[in-house]
């Protein structure tokens, strides 16, 4: 990872909207950064990462500590092997940089196939070329841009498009176009940067991606919101065949009253037990169990 990519990672961390994105970037830095004294001075990545030690998320703070420790050991080992005994003080300067230099911001330049000098004109068919361009631009659409090598990103989207083409028996038809539109829309979504990270990092392979439904592509936060919305709809749904019954068999965990209405519904596979939806008639507290 070069200095430009590292600075981009720093900017991405500073603009990250959730802990999952921060974890993805930190893991990428841990894996791909080969620290040297010069690189640490130029990028100031050490201090930027080290600031996250104070994160309330223990996973982030633990990961930061392991990254700093790893970089310090590498810099010390490299420095010690390359300097004379009279310059031992310099051997420790790299690790000191990890905790001493200020943070740095990065430019917010847009990236796309044109600015990355990526040639998408590899097919005679205009629709396939347009698909490649749209996929590439969606995958690298973040502001600030994600860390990636254009050749690697293009290799990924080329495989994604080829698999979609194969799924339609190598026909450019409505099914092909619909599939590509769905992929581009979900990959480009501003609310789902994790999907782009996972694709670029290889956590989601092209073969897995083309089989995923739109619901499977959304991030965990949105999945939880959708789940809660569905549960709320089930509670509020007027289902004629599932009449609510009032019983004193259940106790409300909130107000401790026993006047509880309930109904049951099959929400999972047929071999799973029914889900019981309860609502306290006193305080309107709601819960469910299987």
Q: How far is CA 231 from the centre of its chain?
A: 25
pLDDT attached to residue 247: 87
Q: Bigger pLDDT: 247 or 89?
A: 247
Q: Counting runs of H as helices and runs of E as strands, what totals does the chain give?
A: 14, 4
Q: Bigger pLDDT: 237 or 228?
A: 228
Q: In percent, how much of the chain has pLDDT > 90?
A: 28
Q: How many CA atoms lie within 13 A of 156 on its CB side?
A: 27
Span 10-29, mean pLDDT? Answer: 87
Evaluate if residue 23 carries a pLDDT over 80. Answer: yes
Query: Highest-confidence range of 77-86, 111-120, 161-170, 280-289, by mean pLDDT?
Result: 161-170
Domains present along the chain, CATH in parentheses: 3-100 (no CATH), 126-220 (no CATH), 237-289 (2.20.25.10)
Q: Bigger pLDDT: 90 or 155?
A: 155
- For 270, phi then psi, to 5°, come to -60, -30
Instruction: For 26-36, write each residue's pLDDT tens digit.
Output: 998 999 888 88
pTM, rounded to two decimals: 0.49
- Cis bond upstream, residue 68 (ω within 30): no
Query: Whole-number mean pLDDT of the chain?
Result: 81
pLDDT attached to residue 233: 66
In which band, very low, low, confident or very high, does the pLDDT at 243 lie, cut at 50, 70 and 90? low
Evaluate if residue 270 carries a pLDDT over 50. Answer: yes
The tokens for 274 are 């029914």
Instruction: For 155-179, write each residue's pLDDT tens digit.
Output: 999 999 999 999 999 999 999 999 9
Residue 280: CB atoms within 10 A of its CB come to 21
Q: Could you say which DSSP state residue 147 is in?
A: P
Angstrom distance (rounded) from CA 59 to CA 69: 16
Q: Could you say which DSSP state residue 236 is in?
A: H
Angle separating helix axes 174-188 and 193-201, nearest 10 degrees: 100
β-strand partners of 276: 264, 289
Angstrom distance (rounded) from CA 141 to CA 123: 23
Q: Give the list of residues 6+ apart from residue 175 with CB closer than 8 angstroms, or none.
A: 167, 168
Angstrom distance (rounded) from CA 170 to CA 283: 59
Span 4-24, mean pLDDT? Answer: 86
Comparing C-alpha atoms, which of 78, 210, 243, 80 is closest to residue 135? 210
């Amino acid at each position: 990872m070069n200095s430009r990519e590292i600075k981009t990672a720093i900017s991405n961390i500073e603009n990250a909207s959730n802990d999952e994105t921060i974890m993805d970037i930190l893991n990428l830095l841990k894996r791909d950064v080969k620290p040297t004294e010069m690189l640490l001075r130029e990028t100031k990545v050490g201090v930027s990462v080290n600031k996250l030690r104070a994160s309330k998320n223990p996973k982030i703070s633990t990961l930061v500590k392991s990254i700093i420790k790893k970089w310090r050991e590498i810099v010390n080992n490299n420095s010690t092997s390359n300097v004379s005994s009279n310059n031992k003080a310099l051997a420790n300067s790299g690790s000191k940089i990890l905790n001493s230099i200020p943070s740095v911001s990065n430019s917010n330049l847009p990236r796309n196939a044109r600015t990355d000098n990526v040639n998408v004109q590899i097919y005679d068919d205009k629709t396939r070329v347009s698909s490649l361009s749209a996929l590439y631009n969606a995958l690298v659409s973040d502001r600030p841009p994600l860390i990636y090598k254009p050749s690697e990103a293009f290799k990924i989207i080329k495989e994604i498009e080829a698999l979609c083409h194969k799924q339609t028996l190598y026909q450019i038809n409505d099914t092909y176009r619909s599939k590509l539109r769905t992929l581009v829309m979900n990959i480009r979504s501003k609310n789902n940067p994790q999907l782009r990270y996972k694709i670029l990092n290889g956590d989601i392979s092209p073969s897995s991606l083309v089989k995923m439904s739109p619901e499977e592509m959304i991030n965990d936060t949105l999945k939880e919101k959708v789940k809660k919305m569905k549960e709320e709809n089930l509670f509020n749904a007027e289902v004629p065949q599932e009449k609510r019954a009032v019983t004193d068999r259940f106790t409300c965990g909130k107000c401790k009253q026993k006047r509880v209405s309930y109904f049951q519904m099959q929400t999972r596979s047929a071999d799973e037990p029914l889900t019981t939806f309860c609502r306290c008639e006193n305080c309107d507290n709601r819960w469910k169990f299987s």
